[in-house]
Structure 1
Amino acid sequence: MSTITTKDGVSIFYKDWGHGQPIVFHHGWPLSSDDWDAQMMFFVLQGYRVIAHDRRGHGRSSQVSDGHDMDHYAADVAALAEALDLKDAIHIGHSTGGGEVTRYVARHGNGRVAKAVLVSAVPPLMLKTASNPDGLPIEVFDGFRRDLAANRAQFYRDVAAGPFYGFNRPGAKPLEGVIQNWWRQGMNGGAKAHYEGIKAFSETDFTEDLKAIDVPTLVLQGDDDQIVPYKDAALLSAKLLKHGSLKIYSGYPHGMLTTHADVINQDLLDFVRG
């Protein structure tokens, strides 16, 4: 397997296919780089070099005890970019991966990043606070932690079969292979990393990171996202970015990269080429 080792001894697994301008994909919680299959195949066939890694504690990377926070996630990406000498790269992040992209580009991406894309992403801040009154209450995330600790396998099955892809909506046709693949990716990771990652994606405030990003950044989200409410995510993020552009998809779920890959991939390609 292709891996790098970070300064604190964590083995980070990655895929690196093709040649040309690099596109780096950052996966959501609690998944792995495998969640980007539809995008990586699409872009490698378009002549790009495509790279995706498993976040620490996820997928095939080390199931370490510590460092499950956005600062470490971003530093791990910086280590990967340095090891692969990535320049003029485009970073695309989904959900928690969008937070990872935001912090990486803001703090480590100077001179290496050409563009960024945030898809159904957690910035600026998911948690309800005095300064973010439209966020989700802490009880929502406490519930995630409770369900994960009690029966992670059933929790992951329920998320994938329900709100993540919108399969719980009237008239929706659940795709069993998609549900099983989500569950497989989640169960390949470490329970402790996933448990602590809930705090990382829900309580990290990316406001200043978004303001600091000075490369063109595309923000995409569906208005039927049941995981990350778009009004407190994409709409606010686009306003904070210096060079942000926004597209909202009517009726699309959180996992629209899978359920509507044909539409999203073309929009990503248009942005990358633009």
Structure 2
Amino acid sequence: MNNSSMTATRRNVMAGTLSLAAAAAASATRPAEAANKKKAAQGTLPTGPGYVTSSDGTRIFFKDWGPKDAQPIMFHHGWPLSGDDWDNQMLFFLGKGYRVIAHDRRGHGRSSQVSEGHDMDHYAADVAAVVKHLDLQNAIHIGHSTGGGEATRYVARHGKNRVSKLVLIGAVPPIMVKTASNPGGMPIGAFDGLRAALAANRSQFYYDLASGPFYGFNRTGVKASDAIINNWWRQGMSGAANAHYLGIKAFSETDFTDDLRMIEVPTLVLHGDDDQIVPVADSAELSAKILKKATLKIYKGFPHGMATTHSDVINEDILSFIKG
């Protein structure tokens, strides 16, 4: 056999050996991959620090600060924001010795930008996945606006024996849209208008909403804060347009009446009487009548985003409720 033949033979042997090794490696990883997919489908596979995988495989981001043995407070953000909207409250209650948790709703912030599941049932199930992963017990849940609806559904459908109290701030329950059973609601055309503005120019729409009615910066004598406006816009633009578009239906057309009736824990309902986003008469005032153990507090002149613009007042009132 000449040198050329010997070299070719060696190459063939090496190629065959590498192919067998690759096949063996692939075969060995398949069971592990299958097991991981199964765990992800069951909602038990975390995908890194600060993430949990929900039952349909969606990655949900969360922040978890403070002593693990302290009483937990979980925050539910509004549309179209993220857990960052609660930074003021998280720092405040962290300083009071509580464990504070905030997640980003699916399609919002750092969570997965998925196509499906942009409805209250999935939102609540995602929260349940975070709660189970962190094993939160005796928790206080605080929700603002859309997050108030999410927190309501979670506490009613998933929170049995895990929740001690609930706080709703400028929250959307019982239902926002005008229906035969909710004649005081907003006409569907108002929400169609939100969808049209989002689809046409989401960036401009978010800037206008934050610089106007959300924080009451469109009111005479109210000084606008560029920092607050820009932070709202930043959070909104970090999420997915499809999730925000579909989320409008979730927060406006979901009926939480049965959820409110199911809730047994003490609930603090806070609302501003100058809320231009979720009018108080068709939200907080109705919810407080349905809830079994409600405490209603309405603030004169406060806007929808009062947890930011009047955080000093809101934080202290929540603390008093928690301690009480």
Give the TM-score normalised by structure 1.
Answer: 1.00
1:101 aligns to what?
151
Matched, 1:128 2:178: yes
Q: Distance in 2 between matches of 1:2 and 1:229?
A: 35
2:255 corresponding residue in structure 1:
205
Residue 16 (structure 1) aligned to one of 55, 64, 70: 64
* Residue of structure 2 equivalent to 1:41: 91
For residues 3 and 273 of structure 1, the distance between their equivalents in structure 2, rounded to whole angstroms, comes to 30
Residue in 2 that maps onto 1:88: 138
Deviations 1:172-219 (A, max 9, x none): 100000000000000000000000000000000000000000000000
Match of 1:6 among 41, 54, 69: 54
In the alignment, what sits opposite 2:201? 151
| C-alpha separation in 2, matches of 1:8 and 1:107 | 18
In the alignment, what sits opposite 2:245?
Answer: 195
Query: What amino acid does structure 1 have at the position aligned with 2:59?
Result: S
1:267 matched to 2:297? The reply is no
**Partner letter of residue 56 of structure 2?**
D
CA distance in 2, matches of 1:214, 1:208: 12
Question: Of 299, 303, 306, which residue of structure 2 is paired with 1:253?
Answer: 303
Letter in 2 for 1:226: Q
In the alignment, what sits opposite 2:122?
Answer: 72
Structure 1 unaligned blocks of 5 or more: none
Task: Give the 3-state SS of the residue equivalent to 1:12 in structure 2.
Answer: strand
Structure 2 length-normalised TM: 0.84
CA distance in 2, matches of 1:272, 1:67: 32
Secondary structure in structure 2 of the residue aligned to 1:23 = strand
Letter of the structure 1 residue corresponding to residue 322 of structure 2: V
| 2:213 match | 163
CA distance in 2 between partners of 1:228 and 1:48 (Å) = 29
Q: SS where residue 25 of structure 1 aligns?
A: strand
Query: Is 2:114 aligned against 1:114?
Result: no
Structure 2 counterpart SS, 1:4: strand
Superposed CA RMSD in Å reads 0.4
Instruction: Tell me the amino acid that sits aligned with residue 10 of structure 1.
Output: T
> Take 1:212 and 1:245, find their aligned partners in 2: how far apart are those partners?
16
Shift of 1:113: 0.3
Structure-2 separation of matches of 1:263 and 1:240:
26
Residue 179 of structure 1 corresponds to: 229
Instruction: Tell me the alpha carbon deviations over residues 64-91 of structure 1, each in whole angstroms, 9 at most, x when there is no partner.
Output: 0000000000000011100000000000
Give the fraction of aligned pairs with identical amino acids, expressed as a percent: 71
Whose RCO is larger (CA < 8 A, sep 6+)? 1
CA distance in 1, matches of 2:136, 2:89: 19
Q: Name the structure where helix makes up a greater proportion of residues.
A: 2
The one-letter code of the counterpart of 2:259 is D
